[in-house]
Amino acid sequence: MLLGCIGDDFTGSSDLANTLRKQGMRVTQFSGVPTVAADPSVEAGVVALKSRSIPAKEAIAQSLQALEWLKAQGCTQFLFKYCSTFDSTPEGNIGPVAAALAEALDARKVVVCPAFPGAGRTIYQGHLFVHDRLLNESGMEHHPLNPMTDADIRRWLALQTDMKVGHVGFGAVSNGADAIKAALDRADREGARLIVVDALSDTDLMEIGAALNGAPLLTGGSGIAMGLPENFRRQGLLSGKGSTWQGVEGACVVLSGSCSTATRGQVARHRADELPMFEITADAAVAGKLDPQQIADWAMAQAERPLVFSSADPAKVRAAQETYGREPVATAIEQLFAAIARALVAAGVGRLVVAGGETSGAVVEGLNLTSLEIGPEIAPGAPALRARPSGRPVALALKSGNFGGENFFAEADAVLRGDAPTA
C-alpha cells in the first residue's frame, strides 16, 4: 500500500476512494481499523472512522490507531480526510486530529484544504464557499451536529488547536506547483505548521498535489487527493489495473437520516414521483415505538424503490433536539437505521442507498462490513460500493448529505444494479 488515508466519516471516505479510483489507483475502503493485513494489491487504503462528531480525545486515539495500521501496510504518505464543508465544532475534531497526526509523523507544512470544486466548495483568501455563498450562509449554519457559523477556515481551525495556522493564498496557487512549494516553505519559516491553502479549481488541486509529492501528511476534502496518484504513477509504482466491480440485482431500499438541503430535495423528488415512503419521526424513534423488522418487511413488500426517512427541516430538527437533547435523538435514529439495514440484508435486499454520513456510518457498522470495493461514480463524490455481509453481495451507495442532484436515489439505484455508470 502506498497511500494511507484516514476518513472521519463513511460517506466522506467513499468520496475520497472515488477520487483516487478515478485517478487510477486500486483502492479499498475499510470500516474502522482492520485487524488483519490488507490484500497486497491495494495501492490506496481508506480507513473510514466515525470520528467526526465524537469527543476529540477519542477521535485522536482512533486516528492514531488507523495511522499505525496504515504504516504497517507500508504506506509512505498519509491523508486525513474531513468534510469539504469543514464540519467541526470550535473544539474539533479537525484541528486536534491533524495536530496529533502531524506530531506522530513529525510532519511540517501540513496542508489544510477542504476544497471540492466539483461539488461547489472552493477556498479563496482562507474563506470557504459553497457555490456562490460563504459557508456560514450556505445552509451549513443549520447543521444538526456541527453548525458552521464562520467561513474563515484559518480562524475556525485556530479555535481548535494550539498549532500555528498559516495560509497560502490564491496568488501562489495560481502560479503552480513550484510557487506553492515556495509559499509553503515561507509559511513554515514563519512557524506555521497547519497551512490553509486556497483552491478554486481542479487544476489548482492538481498543482497542489504535485507540490505535495513526498509530503508525509496532508489534510482536506477529497479534492486534495486528486494530484497524488500522478506522483506515484510517475515513479512507476501503480499497476494500472482497473476495478472488477459488478452490479447487484434484487430489491433496492433507500434509507435517509440526512437533514441536509440536498437530501431534503431528493426526498421531495421521491414524494413527487409518488414512490413509497415511510417517515421515522424523532418522537417515535426516541420513544422506541418503531419495530425495525416491521419497517424492513414493509420496505421489502413494495414494488418500487421505497424510502425510509427521518429527514426533516431545520425547525423540526431543532425542536426535537430541544426536547430530547442532540445526542439522544441522533443515537436513537441512527440505531434504528442500523437495525432496519440488518433486517433488510437478512431479508435479501440487493441494493441499499444511504443518505447522510453519520447515518451511513451507523448502517455500515450495524452490518459489520469490514471492507468495501469501490465501483463507478454515481454523482460527484458518491461512488457505487459493494460488500458481502453474510456471504451474499450487496451494492451500496453512501451519500454525503449535500451531494447528488434531485434524482440521486433513482440514479444510484440504476448504477448499483449495473446500469448506466457515469464514470
Ligand X SMILES: Nc1ncnc2c1ncn2[C@@H]1O[C@H](COP(=O)(O)OP(=O)(O)OP(=O)(O)O)[C@@H](O)[C@H]1O
Ligand Y SMILES: O=C(O)[C@@H](O)C(=O)CO
221, interface contact from ligand Y, ligand X, none, CB < 5-8 Å by kind: ligand Y
> Please, where are the H alpha helices in 106-257?
153-160, 170-173, 177-189, 202-211, 228-234
Nearest-CB residue for ligand Y? 12
Q: How far apart are CA 116 and CA 221, in angstroms?
A: 6
**Residue 309 and residue 317 in contact, taking contact as beta carbons nearer than 8 Å:** no
84, interface contact from ligand X, ligand Y, none, CB < 5-8 Å by kind: ligand Y
116, interface contact from ligand Y, ligand X, none, CB < 5-8 Å by kind: ligand Y
Query: From the CB of 294, what's the least distance to ligand Y, in Å?
Result: 30
- Contact call for residue 258 and ligand Y (CB under 6 A): no
Query: From the CB of 358, what's the least distance to ligand Y, in Å?
Result: 9
Cis check for the bond before 146: say yes or no (omega within 30 of 0).
no
Query: From the CB of 421, what's the least distance to ligand X, in Å?
Result: 22
> Whose Cβ is closer to ligand X: residue 232's or residue 324's?
324
Residues in a beta bridge with 398: 354
**Residue 79 and residue 224 in contact, taking contact as beta carbons nearer than 8 Å:** yes
- Chain residues in the site for ligand X (CB under 6 A): 9, 11, 144-145, 257-260, 263, 282, 310, 312, 316-317, 320-321, 329-330, 333-334, 356-359, 400-402
Q: How far apart are CA 107 and CA 328, in angstroms?
A: 38
CA atoms lying within 13 Å on the CB side of residue 92: 21
Q: Which residue has the cell 469543514?
A: 86
> Whose Cβ is closer to ligand X: residue 203's or residue 331's?
331
Among 4, 12, 247, 350, indicate the residue that binds ligand Y (CB under 6 A): 12
333, interface contact from ligand Y, ligand X, none, CB < 5-8 Å by kind: ligand X
Q: What are phi and psi of 181, to 5 degrees?
A: -60, -45
**Residue 324 and residue 335 in contact, taking contact as beta carbons nearer than 8 Å:** no
Among 2, 4, 11, 329, indicate the residue that binds ligand Y (CB under 6 A): 11
- Contact call for residue 194 and ligand Y (CB under 6 A): no
Instruction: List interacting residues with ligand Y (CB under 6 A).
Output: 9, 11-12, 15, 83-85, 116, 221-222, 357, 381, 400
